[in-house]
């Protein structure tokens, strides 16, 4: 049996039924607005909106933490660094040798951290609620991207899951040959490199066999039809409308509170 | 006849194949893969294509499917047509099934996967889904359309591939060793699905397969190809009705390693088997001892001792699963295993797919830690390296236990056959005396300079066994060593293994192959689907089971 990263049970969440392109457009709008201004107000409003959307994508706070903790960690580190380096304005909060935090610098750090999380979350939401097959259908049928590339990428993605298992098997098969008995970092590094090369060879061989299968099934021979129709519905209009509202709320809050701080200009 | 049968018969037009002096040379090769082929196959005919390894059988099938590619260096001569047309321009109108079940599957859900070929032929949407449902019924895959393809067994994946082909309604069905990677149950599953398809569509079929018995009763004709290299001819060697060809060319076919029905190659018998009486006596002794609970006396020749062993592939991650389920303990694929491996004894692990045979073999081979229970190497095997095989270093492991994987390519670590064989001895600081002997013994001498990846299936198998034996282990673990092998390689393996056994090496093999198990003798350890196990003939001399 193989591990297939793409074949979990189909998500039953509301957003999973929306067209991937609508979700991508919504995520893109929100991300662009957040890129325009570095301030805590816009980032906070965006973050609150995004957290409210999480249940619609079938994500619980717990799963989000389990899977998305690297983003959180990166945002924390980014925020800390900003607070350390930002212009020291306002009252001094902590002065401990080289560590000097002021109200102004802490505010910058907080803004950077919130913004980092707020920019990452839309991507997480889209990924979690989108089936790769649906995305491929939408890209090829609605965006009119060349189907050879889209479906080729989709088939290749399926093989990625198989690589995980192949890596484990290769590790054991090579240990049975005595590979990796060289001690120390250099020995282990060399062994891993060899295993990676072997994995590459296996991946290419399997891919070329798969390519033969696909070609034999007439792939790329001419115009094709689509068994699954990618379509836009009322839900997609709602998704885009919600994104427009969020963008308005984000900009409105920042301008209203006087924190709007454009990056360009 | 179901409405579906009537419908597909209406839409499927059996194709005719015609080759006139056809030949093909792959790019970068000096020799021609196929030469001067003259062949006519009538619409609806079912043909079994045989020939020695390297006769160009796969090349012909790929050419008929139109997937040989347009390499600039490749050279084609003569003509090959399907229904009077060049196959390359009508790609998708012949269905091709390959050996590797994994390469059969394109998409993640079975409905989408079956629809894929029909989509490429621009079949209208409603018609596609009608065909998908019918095709899945026809191959007997009773799953919802969004069932993940990754959870199917090898035989089910092949049947899925067949359903995809069926949905394209091709007039020509090309099968390239479709059952070589399957267990006996899977072989019948796939063959019967093919037969049902042929009966309902009347399509022409060309099948390449070493195991003649699977197809001989259902084909109209057997065509034997001659090897096309070194300028010694090529093309069709013999062509005729199955019974006729099998009688006329039996000697030639068995010489080429083809599994003709009723043929079992002559192999070297076990020395112990000639001496049945003594074996019986010792066997009785063991049984008697075991009953009185005094089997401790016979422990001198025990190499490995498993006690309530539970095995899992996830044992490698410290028994934890990855990802969302990481808090749950890993599930054992087989548990409660009690067995002993004795010096010079054969132990065959049998059972259905998914029973955990390979996982058990990997654990016994010191490649996976036990999930639960205990696996102890006796002093006779460990020789001071500690009694837990999975903790041994690579060097310690290979001179004690040698594991041969099902897929030989997984174990290749160099780019030359000779280096491959020298790898173990060099690691252990030994000379290469044994290497020359193994090259000779396994008929690999002429390939010493070749790249292991370029060898044929049988040569790869022989090499993978030889590389492990080069380190001279006391215990050999083999995972399905005879899968997909021709009769010659099969006989080589049996000869070699019986010799090793008689010389005192222990051999554990995971296998579905009854003849192989019988010739090696020893004990069978049977795992059942539920992970329990039963023991057959536990009282033989080579007893591996308490």
> Is B394 within 8 Å of A213 when comparing Cβ atoms?
no
Q: Do B128 and A227 lie within an 8 Å CB cutoff?
A: yes
Cβ–Cβ < 8 Å for B516, B479: no
- How far, CA to CA in Å, does B386 sit from each of B229, B383, B392, B393? 53, 8, 7, 11
Task: For residue B101, give the 3-state DSSP assignment.
Answer: helix
Q: Which of A130, A176, A203 to mutate to test the interface with B (most CBs of B within 10 A)?
A: A176
Chain centroid to CA A264: 26
Yes or no, beta carbons of A133 and B393 under 8 Å apart: no
**pLDDT given at position B481:** 92
* Residue of B345, B474, B480 whose CA lies nearest to B464: B480
| pLDDT value of position A264 | 73
Rounded to whole angstroms, the Cα distance separating A214 from B67 reads 10
State whether residue A184 sits within 8 Å of chain B by CB: no
Residues 330-359 of B with CB under 8 A from A: 354
**B95 vs A contacts (CB less than 8 Å):** 216-217
Domain ranges of chain B: 3-255, 275-400+473-536
Q: B425 and chain A: CB distance < 8 Å anywhere?
A: no
Answer whether A227 sits within 8 Å of B109, measured CB to CB: no
Question: Residues with Cβ < 8 Å from A2, sequence gap 6 or more?
Answer: A161, A162, A165, B102, B150
CB atoms within 10 A of CB B68: 22
Question: Model pTM?
Answer: 0.81
Residue whose structure tokens are 């001399």: B541
DSSP state of B540: S
A77, B243, B400 from B467: Cα distances, Å: 51, 41, 14
Find chain A residues with C-beta within 8 A of B471's C-beta: 178
At B329, is the secondary structure helix, strand, or coil?
Answer: strand
- The top-level CATH class assigned to B275-400+473-536 is alpha beta
How far is the alpha carbon of A184 from chain B, nearest alpha carbon, in Å?
A: 13
Contacts of A133 in chain B (CB under 8 A): 107-109, 112
8 Å CB contact of B112 and A133: yes
Neighbours of A157 (CB within 10 A): 17
Q: B170, B93 in Cβ contact below 8 A?
A: yes
Chain B residues with CB under 8 Å of A178 CB are 394-395, 397-398, 423-424, 427-428, 471
Whether A175 sits inside 8 A of B394 (CB atoms) is yes
> Using CB atoms, which residue from B117, B146, B398 is nearest to A177?
B398
Q: Check if B251 contacts A (Cβ < 8 Å).
A: no
What's the pLDDT score for residue B197?
87
CB contact under 8 A, B107 and A154: yes
Asked if A161's CB is within 8 angstroms of B150's CB, the reply is yes
The full set of domain ranges for chain A reads: 14-135+232-256, 146-216
What ipTM did this prediction achieve? 0.82
In this chain, the answer to whether the domains covering B3-255 and B275-400+473-536 adopt an identical fold is yes
Residues in a beta bridge with A233: none
Q: At what angle do helices A132-141 and A147-175 cross, to 10 degrees?
A: 150
CATH top-level class for B3-255? Answer: alpha beta
- Which residues of B are less than 8 Å from A220 in CB distance? 120
SS3 B339: strand
* The dihedral sign for the CA sequence B3, B6, B7, B9: positive
Residues of chain A with pLDDT under 50: 1-7
Interface residue B164 vs chain A (CB under 8 A): yes
Residue with tokens 């934890």: B320
Per residue in B428-440, pLDDT (tens digit) is: 888 888 899 999 9
Per CB-CB distance under 8 Å, the chain A contacts of B362 are 172
B358, B478 in Cβ contact below 8 A?
A: no
Neighbour-count burial for B221-239, b at 16+ CB within 10 Å, e otherwise:
bbbbbbbbbeeeebbbbbb
CB-CB under 8 Å, A170 with B148: no
Among residues B118, B99, B95, B116, the alpha carbon closest in space to that of B107 is found at: B116
Instruction: Round to whole Å and give the CA distance between B396 and B429.
Output: 12
CB contact under 8 A, B151 and A7: yes
Give per-residue pLDDT as tens, A15-63. Answer: 889 999 999 999 999 999 998 888 888 999 999 999 999 889 888 888 8
Report residue B27 CA to chain centroid gap.
Answer: 28
Q: Please give the Cα distance from B139 to B197 (Å, whole number).
A: 8
A213 and B121 within 8 Å at the Cβ level: the answer is: no
Tell whether B94 is within 8 A of chain A (Cβ).
Answer: yes
Contacts of A155 in chain B (CB under 8 A): 106-107
CA distance B174 to chain A (A): 10
The burial class, CB within 10 Å (0-12 / 13-18 / 19+), for B81 is middle
What pLDDT score does B180 carry? 81
How far apart, in whole angstroms, are the C-alpha atoms of residue B519 and residue B328?
43
What number of C-beta contacts closer than 8 Å exist between A and B? 183
CB contacts of A10 in chain B (<8 Å) are 146
User: Would the CB atoms of A224 and B119 count as touching at under 8 Å?
Assistant: yes
Q: Which two tokens stand for residue B479?
A: 């995972």
Inter-chain residue contact A178 with B105, CB threshold 8 Å: no
**A67: chain B residues, CB-CB within 8 Å:** 324
In this complex, is the C-beta atom of B8 within 8 Å of any C-beta atom belonging to chain A? no
B132 interface with A at CB cutoff 8 Å: yes
Mutate which: A63, A177, A197, vs B, most B CBs within 10 A: A177
Q: Residue ranges of chain B with pLDDT lower than 50? A: 1-6, 231-232, 274-297, 319-328, 531-534, 536-546
Question: Looking only at Cα atoms, what is the longest distance across chain A?
Answer: 72
Interface contact flag, A168 B313, Cβ < 8 Å: yes
Is A188 an interface residue toward B (CB < 8 Å)? no
Q: What is the DSSP string of A76-134?
A: HHHHHHHHHHS---SSEEEEETTEEEEHHHHHHHHHHHHHHHHHHHHHHHHHHH--HHH
Distance between CA atoms of residues B349 and B306, nearest Å = 14
- Using a CB–CB cutoff of 8 Å, tell me whether B170 touches chain A: no
Looking at CA atoms only, how far is residue A55 from chain B in angstroms? 18
Q: What is the CA radius of gyration of chain A?
A: 24
Place of tokens 């040989």: B68
B163, HSE (Cβ side, Cα atoms, 13 Å): 34
Please tell me if residue A234 touches chain B, with a CB cutoff of 8 Å.
no
């Amino acid at each position: 049996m193989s591990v297939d990263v793409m074949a979990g049970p189909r998500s039953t969440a509301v957003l999973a039924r929306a067209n991937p392109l609508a979700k991508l457009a919504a995520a893109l709008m929100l991300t662009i607005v957040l890129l325009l201004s570095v301030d805590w107000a816009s980032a906070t409003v965006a973050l609150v909106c995004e957290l409210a959307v999480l249940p619609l994508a079938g994500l619980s706070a717990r799963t989000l933490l389990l899977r998305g903790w690297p983003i959180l960690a990166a945002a924390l580190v980014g925020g800390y660094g900003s607070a350390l380096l930002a212009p020291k304005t306002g009252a001094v909060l902590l002065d401990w040798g080289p560590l000097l935090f002021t109200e102004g610098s802490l505010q910058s750090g907080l803004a950077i951290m919130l913004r980092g999380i707020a920019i990452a979350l839309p991507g997480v939401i889209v990924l979690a609620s989108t089936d790769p097959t649906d995305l491929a259908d939408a890209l090829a049928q609605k965006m009119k991207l060349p189907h050879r590339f889209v479906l080729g990428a989709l088939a290749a993605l399926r093989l990625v899951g198989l690589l995980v298992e192949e890596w484990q098997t290769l590790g054991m098969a090579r240990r049975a040959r005595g590979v990796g008995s060289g001690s120390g970092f250099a020995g282990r590094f060399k062994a891993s490199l060899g295993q990676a090369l072997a994995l590459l060879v296996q991946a290419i061989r399997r891919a070329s066999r798969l390519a033969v299968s696909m070609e034999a099934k007439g792939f790329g021979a001419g115009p094709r039809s689509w068994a699954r129709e990618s379509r836009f519905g009322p839900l997609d209009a709602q998704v885009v409308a919600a994104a427009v509202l969020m963008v308005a709320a984000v900009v409105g809050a920042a301008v209203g509170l006087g924190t709007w701080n454009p990056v360009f200009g | 006849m179901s409405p579906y049968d009537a419908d597909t018969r209406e839409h499927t037009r059996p194709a005719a194949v015609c080759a006139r002096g056809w030949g093909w040379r792959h790019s970068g090769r000096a020799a021609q893969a196929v030469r001067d082929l003259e062949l006519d196959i009538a619409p609806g005919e079912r043909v079994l294509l045989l020939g020695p390894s390297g006769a160009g059988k796969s090349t012909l099938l790929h050419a008929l499917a139109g997937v040989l590619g347009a390499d600039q260096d490749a050279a084609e001569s003569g003509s090959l047509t399907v229904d009077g047309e060049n196959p390359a321009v009508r790609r998708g109108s012949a269905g091709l099934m390959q050996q590797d079940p994994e390469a059969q599957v394109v998409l993640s859900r079975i409905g989408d996967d079956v629809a894929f070929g029909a989509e490429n032929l621009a079949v209208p949407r409603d018609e596609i889904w009608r065909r998908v449902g019918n095709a899945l019924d026809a191959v007997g895959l009773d799953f919802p359309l969004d069932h993940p393809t990754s959870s199917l067994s090898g035989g089910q994946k092949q049947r899925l591939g067949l359903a995809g082909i069926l949905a394209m309604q091709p007039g020509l069905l090309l099968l390239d060793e479709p059952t070589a990677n399957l267990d006996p149950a899977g072989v019948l599953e796939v063959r019967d699905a093919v037969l049902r398809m042929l009966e309902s569509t009347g399509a022409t079929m060309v099948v390449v397969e070493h195991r003649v018995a699977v197809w001989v009763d259902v084909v109209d004709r057997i065509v034997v190809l001659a090897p096309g290299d070194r300028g010694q001819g090529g093309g069709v060697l013999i062509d005729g009705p199955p019974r006729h060809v099998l009688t006329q060319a039996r000697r030639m076919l068995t010489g080429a390693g083809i599994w003709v029905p009723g043929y079992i190659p002559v192999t070297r018998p076990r020395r112990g088997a000639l001496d049945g009486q003594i074996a019986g006596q010792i066997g009785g002794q063991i049984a008697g001892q075991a009953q009185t609970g005094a089997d401790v006396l016979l422990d001198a020749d025990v190499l490995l001792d498993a006690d309530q062993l539970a095995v899992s592939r996830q044992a490698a991650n410290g028994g934890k699963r990855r990802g969302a389920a990481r808090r749950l303990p890993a599930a054992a694929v087989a548990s409660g295993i009690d067995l002993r491996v004795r010096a010079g004894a054969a132990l065959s692990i049998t059972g259905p797919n998914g029973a955990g045979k390979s996982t058990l073999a990997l654990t016994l081979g010191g490649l996976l830690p036990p999930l639960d229970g205990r696996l102890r190497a006796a002093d006779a095997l460990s020789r001071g390296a500690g009694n837990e095989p999975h903790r041994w270093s690579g060097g310690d492991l290979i001179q004690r236990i040698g594991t041969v994987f099902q897929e030989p390519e997984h174990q290749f670590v160099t780019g030359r056959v000779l280096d491959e064989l020298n790898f173990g001895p060099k690691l252990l600081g030994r000379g290469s005396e044994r290497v020359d002997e193994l090259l000779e013994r396994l008929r690999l001498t002429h390939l010493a300079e070749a790249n292991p990846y370029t060898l044929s299936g049988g040569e790869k198998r022989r090499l993978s066994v030889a590389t492990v034996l080069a380190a001279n282990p006391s215990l050999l673990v083999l995972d399905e060593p005879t899968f997909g092998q021709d009769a010659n390689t099969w006989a080589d393996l049996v000869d070699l293994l019986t010799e090793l056994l008689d010389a005192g090496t222990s051999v554990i093999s995971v296998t579905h192959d009854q003849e192989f198990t019988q010739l090696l003798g020893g004990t069978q350890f049977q795992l059942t689907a539920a992970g329990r196990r039963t023991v057959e003939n536990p009282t033989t001399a080579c007893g591996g089971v308490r």
